Structure 1
């Protein structure tokens, strides 16, 4: 049986939770590795580990630590209860091995680096559904990853309640 490493870009926004839930419901199979990829702005790592983490990202963070606020405070990341519920359910019901890896820098570049460094079998990204003007000004992370990733990319479109 192949060792599948399914990446999901998570920033704890509504659209990233939709992408995570979609991944668990549609892609994750028993025994898969569900790897949450979180990108933080540069400078959010502790001084002593800065140079190492700048290039490689954080160590792999297992689900037990992901659920521990004291440990996550070290990374300056606060997973919300809904995200934790989704991944705990995936671990229990699908017997998925859940881990998180945090990178610092430009989300577009770091997501593509994560694909190669981990390496990922595929990656799922939420799409905020920015209008054309905002997408031109801000750039679309999902569009960049779709065009530059070295693995299959699935973009889960955010369903706005507006």
Structure 2
């Protein structure tokens, strides 16, 4: 961990929400720039979880102070925008584990961020 995290570093979770079950007003208000930073502990409140359409993980809240920022829209574009607007020195993205055909049709978010992001990108491989 000493090579990854230093004192006073921040862990920022960036969450891009699909259309779904959350308050539309939040999406319309913050769609272009993402939500304000929200301490992860606030996501233990059911109203906050519904407001942003996310699920709470109590284990994470107990381990580290985490801020979360929610974006709406194309995940490729929003992750690259977040890299520049926050700004981030590195980003870790997941991989959906799509096959070659689906990846060609739908596009790969992680590949787009690796090729277009302005910071170091680590892609975590999908495990079934």
- On whether the aligned pair clears a TM of 0.5, the verdict is yes
Per-residue CA shift, 1:107-131, capped at 9, x if unaligned?
0110001111111111001112222
More helix by share: 1
From the superposition, tell whether residues 45 and 113 of structure 1 become closer, same or farther in structure 2 (CA, over 3 Å): farther
User: In angstroms, what is the RMSD of aligned CA positions?
Assistant: 2.3
Between the aligned partners of 2:38 and 2:104, the Cα distance in structure 1 is 34
Between the aligned partners of 1:131 and 1:68, the Cα distance in structure 2 is 37
Matched, 1:88 2:62: yes
Question: Which 4+ residue blocks in structure 1 deviate beyond 6 angstroms?
Answer: none
Classify the secondary structure of the residue corresponding to 2:77. Answer: helix
Q: How many residues align?
A: 127
Provide structure 2 residue ranges, at least 5 long, that are not aligned to the other structure.
Answer: none
1:61–1:101 CA contact under 8 A, matched in 2 = yes
Classify the secondary structure of the residue corresponding to 1:113. Answer: helix
Q: Per chain length, whose mean CA-contact separation is higher, i.e. which structure has more relative contact order (CA < 8 Å, sep 6+)?
A: 1
TM-score, scaled relative to structure 2: 0.85
TM-score, scaled relative to structure 1: 0.69
Provide structure 1 residue ranges, at least 5 long, that are not aligned to the other structure.
Answer: 1-23, 92-96
**Superposed, which structure 2 residues align to 1:5-154 within 5 Å?**
27-41=4-18, 45-47=23-25, 49-79=26-56, 81=57, 84-89=58-63, 91=64, 97-154=65-122
